[in-house]
């Protein structure tokens, strides 16, 4: 199971999460991650972090922030196997920045993930586009940048075309885990 970070695990910030003191788990995220571990699911975080490419944070500080996140998740009974990061500036043209599937392909090639049996949970059209490009299932959470979430994303549905119409949407990571583990809560319709 792939998870985007900002808007799925922790609150999105318009000014980026630059330090651990700015990192705030979303309600229910730690419990959802513990349930995934209890169900034997692998969890890999795939996240665009242009704060490195923009010179706002260095790669070492970002790695330490992710170590603290993983420690907090473990203390709550969950596990994040790996955090795969695109550190590049959006204008760099790299192949790892979502909506490109590079981070997912890295997981396939280096961690032995079967993408056809995987799902990416994200809060933005870039996450969903990367999942479709890599051959993964996709699930949208409304707890982040989507129009129904934090309110600072565009009407993204048009960008993904027909694939957007078939992507289920749920309120948050807890509801995504319910759906994926067979105990669905309310699924929100997009349209």
Question: Which residues participate in catalysis according to the annotation?
Answer: 4, 6
Helix pair angle (173-180, 29-38), 10° resolution: 20
Helix pair angle (59-75, 29-38), 10° resolution: 70
Label residue 50 left, alpha or beta by phi (over 0 means left) and psi (-120 to 50 means alpha). Answer: alpha
Cα 18 versus chain centre, distance: 17
- The DSSP output letter for 151 is S
Q: Is 134 exposed, middle or buried (0-12, 13-18, 19+ CB in 10 A)?
A: buried
**Length of the chain measured in residues:** 191
């Amino acid at each position: 199971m792939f998870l985007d970070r900002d808007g799925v695990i922790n609150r999105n910030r318009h000014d980026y999460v630059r330090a651990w003191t700015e990192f705030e788990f979303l309600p229910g995220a730690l419990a959802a991650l513990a349930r995934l571990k209890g169900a034997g699911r692998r969890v890999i975080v795939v996240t665009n972090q242009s704060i490195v490419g923009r010179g706002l944070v260095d790669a070492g500080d970002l790695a330490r922030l992710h170590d603290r996140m993983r420690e907090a998740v473990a203390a709550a009974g969950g596990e994040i196997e790996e955090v795969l990061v695109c550190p590049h500036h959006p204008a760099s043209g790299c192949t790892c920045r979502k909506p490109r599937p590079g981070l997912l392909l890295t997981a396939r090639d280096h961690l032995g993930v079967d993408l056809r049996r995987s799902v990416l949970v994200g809060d933005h059209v870039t996450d969903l586009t990367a999942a479709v490009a890599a051959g993964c299932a996709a699930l949208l959470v409304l707890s982040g940048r989507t129009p129904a979430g934090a309110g600072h994303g565009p009407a993204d549905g048009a960008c993904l075309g027909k694939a957007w119409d078939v992507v289920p949407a749920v309120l948050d990571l807890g509801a995504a885990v319910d759906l994926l583990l067979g105990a669905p809560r309310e699924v929100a319709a997009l349209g």
